[in-house]
Structure 1
């Protein structure tokens, strides 16, 4: 039992690290090469979708197409692919392009807070005390992150902040939309189809063979790393961890993503952060722990 749990922890950490390293690699591509986010989206989602779908088919071929036999579920899958998975990953790239990888990865954590806000506005679900504390901590952390502790000055552009908020909102949709699908079908199959749909969508927007950027070996390696390790294997590891540990534990271990993004950016891209930005980032990340332990206490009281 302990070995199984340990295996799940290692898989969740590995998936989170792959996701995190994808950030600085993407930042380098957008800074030092003419690659456009739309082109990279089509390539990475298309390749990773094919990879994941092929893996799912090799494991359970009879269930791969089951979702398409139910029109309502197929519609929800399309909504998840476009408004959830594609939107959050596109917003992620645009925010990196406008700021940097660590800031983007931390702003992505606002998705948890956005879920609380959406639940209040749409479902009229009043947040409990733990959720209110998490919202306040997240807002304070975001303020420190984007101002470097200076009350009247933004350390990132208004566009980057706006994109970061869009990233958080799309991250919330990415969590909320597929809930019923994940209960009914294999999660890997749903994510694989959503990836492939997103790849087709962005190849309509910017076909990978039209105005393709010049390729040298570092660029090719970076693109393949993002598609295979940063997307396909990251999802495979993280989803695989759920066979051995709880979603709550996996969610806590996902905090390795901003850590990996920050270390990668500091080491390889020589980006520096002041102490206020570090404190702000830690506050935003801490909301995951606040909500997790708050929910755990709530469950234990019942």
Structure 2
């Protein structure tokens, strides 16, 4: 019992740490854009390429993983290319572009409307009506987005139109990012899939956006922020979060990951002096409520299904 409790505490800590690092990563991105003339066209290609290289090198050296095994099967090659471009690359590019036009807190919260979009997609795919809690989550997500975008006045946008567009684009790509690589992550390791997704996505974005033609302020602060984004905000953030998921389960981890927008918002206020109005915080709360409603109820459904799964395994 004590061992199980310790594992759960460790999982909670790792998941919270991973989510916090993701939030701080967004804040560092905002710092670079705000003070160092960095754009998403420069930041995202370098971030993905460097982080993907570090993850693949880590797997090859420390775990003796055959990092090229994903390329040995036709489906592996096809799926990793789709995930890299339409999942990883577009998700990260749209997220940081939203930060460029607004701030890390707003961008992260808009991206967190993704779980509600996933829910809609799965209901349509499975041809079923949404459950009561799913309808409640959809309402909270839509209401939160409306409040954030308009401050309650539909005749006028409260955030730049570009920020709203890219923020909702980030949420749409979260659907692809979460659902498309399911086969890859079951066939190979999750970290291997993420490593290749980042590396390929970064290289493709390099060719499309040509970041070497952009000249931000390159000083010690820029290099320090980039090192944090690549090593801590990306590599360590994913590693800690995925390690936590193994210990506490995906449902509980989804709830705990809500620390990401909280961390991004707090850092935007404390460090980058962003001023949020009470109505902004109301929109944040509504969107996060949608995520919590979905995550808590799905975690409960998973717990209720476990005895039935165990019984079937025993009968088999």
- Relative to the length of structure 1, the TM-score reads 0.94
Write out per-residue CA displacement over residues 223-263 of structure 1, whole angstroms, 9 at most, x where no aligned residue: 22111111111111111212311011111111010110011
1:44 matched to which residue of 2? 47
Of the structure 1 ranges 64-73 and 105-114, higher mean CA displacement relative to structure 2 is found in: 64-73
1:20 correspondence with 2:23: yes
C-alpha separation in 2, matches of 1:188 and 1:151: 43
Equivalent of residue 127 in structure 2, options 110, 124, 128: 124
Of the structure 1 ranges 265-274 and 25-34, higher mean CA displacement relative to structure 2 is found in: 25-34
Task: Give 5+ residue unaligned stretches, structure 1.
Answer: none
1:89 correspondence with 2:102: no
Equivalent of residue 108 in structure 2, options 102, 105, 114: 105
Cα offset for 1:123?
A: 4.9
C-alpha separation in 2, matches of 1:221 and 1:252: 31
Q: 1:118 to 1:41 in 2, by over 3 A?
A: same
C-alpha separation in 2, matches of 1:123 and 1:94: 33
2:33 matched to which residue of 1? 30
1:149 correspondence with 2:147: no
Asked if structure 2 preserves the Cα contact closer than 8 Å seen for 1:248 and 1:292, the reply is yes
C-alpha separation in 1, matches of 2:298 and 2:256: 16
Asked if structure 2 preserves the Cα contact closer than 8 Å seen for 1:149 and 1:277, the reply is no
1:261 correspondence with 2:281: no
Of the structure 1 ranges 202-211 and 42-51, higher mean CA displacement relative to structure 2 is found in: 202-211
Q: 1:297 to 1:50 in 2, by over 3 A?
A: closer
- Relative to the length of structure 2, the TM-score reads 0.90
Q: 1:206 to 1:293 in 2, by over 3 A?
A: closer
Aligned length: 302
1:79 matched to which residue of 2? 82
Task: Give 5+ residue unaligned stretches, structure 2.
Answer: 309-316
1:161 correspondence with 2:164: yes
Asked if structure 2 preserves the Cα contact closer than 8 Å seen for 1:111 and 1:172, the reply is yes
C-alpha separation in 2, matches of 1:296 and 1:15: 19
Cα offset for 1:62?
A: 4.2
